[in-house]
């Protein structure tokens, strides 16, 4: 049974390093195009910290929104090219690729037939929803994306307060992959979000995990996640797909 509001202090485990997972699929490291890294210096600092955490590969995922962050694939790919050049110049050995985090807003459905979206791995497409409510055409959009050959990955489902147990089960049954944020496991967003993330993990419904890192302040918190029982369970479940990328 999902139990989202009662929390007991749990015994922490020995840290499970992120090098076991190798790849992070959700971050905001392309400078100056969304609410993530503001400049190249910050981006390089963030990537150096990711390497210290054990990651050997980062698939960064800038926001794409019709109103707020009107990032085209060309802008994102140019940003990636600039980061790679800077890493090469500074001789920093970490692999970086890019996808995007697509916001399912009012005109997204119309874009499916018109655009070639930025994906990762074997055509995984990272999408996010409003924190207020899902679009009324949500399931229609998912189906249309799947017909177009995309594997839909829902970013941080634990953060959507309007989702309940049956909604998560419905999503998974429809072939949607769920990606939780590490910071959810330490109560960074709220205790309710933490409980929902843990329950999704213990129900074996999670396929991807991501930092969703936006800044250096968040970067300081990820080591706390390494000792969490839910993270150990998730890694040992064999359900995670990060290491296949």
Could you report the per-residue pLDDT of 97-114, keeping only the tens digit for each? 999 999 998 889 989 988
Q: What per-residue confidence (pLDDT) applies to 11?
A: 76
Report the alpha-carbon distance of residue 95 to residue 102 in Å, rounded: 22
Outline where the chain has alpha helix (H): 40-53, 73-90, 108-111, 138-147, 165-173, 191-202, 216-219, 222-225, 229-236
Instruction: Quick: pLDDT tens for 105-150.
Output: 888 998 998 889 999 999 999 999 999 999 999 999 999 999 999 9
Query: Do you know the residue count of the chain?
Result: 245
Structure tokens at 84: 């790679």
Instruction: Quick: pLDDT tens for 159-215.
Output: 999 999 999 999 999 999 999 999 999 999 999 999 999 999 999 999 999 999 999
Residue 17's closest CA among 244, 243, 207?
243
Structure tokens at 15: 């840290």
Q: What per-residue confidence (pLDDT) applies to 1?
A: 44
Percentage with pLDDT > 90 across the chain = 89
User: Which fold would CATH assign to domain 18-244?
Assistant: TIM Barrel (3.20.20)
For the chain, the domains span: 18-244
């Amino acid at each position: 049974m999902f139990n989202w509001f009662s929390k007991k202090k749990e015994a922490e485990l020995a840290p499970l390093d992120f090098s076991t997972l190798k790849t992070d699929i959700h971050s905001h490291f392309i400078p100056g195009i969304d609410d993530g890294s503001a400049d190249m210096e910050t981006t390089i600092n963030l990537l150096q910290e990711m390497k210290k955490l054990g990651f050997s590969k980062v698939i960064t995922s800038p926001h794409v929104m019709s109103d707020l962050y009107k990032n085209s694939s060309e802008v994102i790919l140019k940003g990636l090219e600039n980061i790679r050049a800077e890493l090469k110049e500074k001789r920093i050995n970490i692999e970086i690729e890019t996808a995007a985090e697509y916001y399912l807003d009012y005109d997204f459905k119309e874009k499916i037939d018109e655009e070639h979206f930025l994906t990762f791995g074997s055509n995984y497409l990272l999408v996010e929803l409003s924190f207020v409510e899902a679009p009324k055409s949500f399931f229609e959009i998912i189906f249309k994306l799947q017909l177009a050959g995309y594997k839909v990955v829902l970013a941080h489902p634990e953060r959507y307060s309007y989702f309940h147990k049956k909604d998560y089960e419905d999503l998974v049954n429809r072939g949607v992959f769920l990606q939780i944020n590490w910071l959810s496991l330490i109560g960074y967003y709220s205790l309710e979000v933490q409980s929902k993330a843990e329950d999704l993990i213990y129900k074996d419904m999670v396929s991807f995990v991501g930092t969703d890192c936006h800044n250096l302040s968040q970067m300081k918190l990820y080591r706390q996640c390494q000792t969490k029982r839910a993270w150990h369970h998730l890694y040992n479940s064999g359900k995670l797909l990060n290491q296949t990328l």
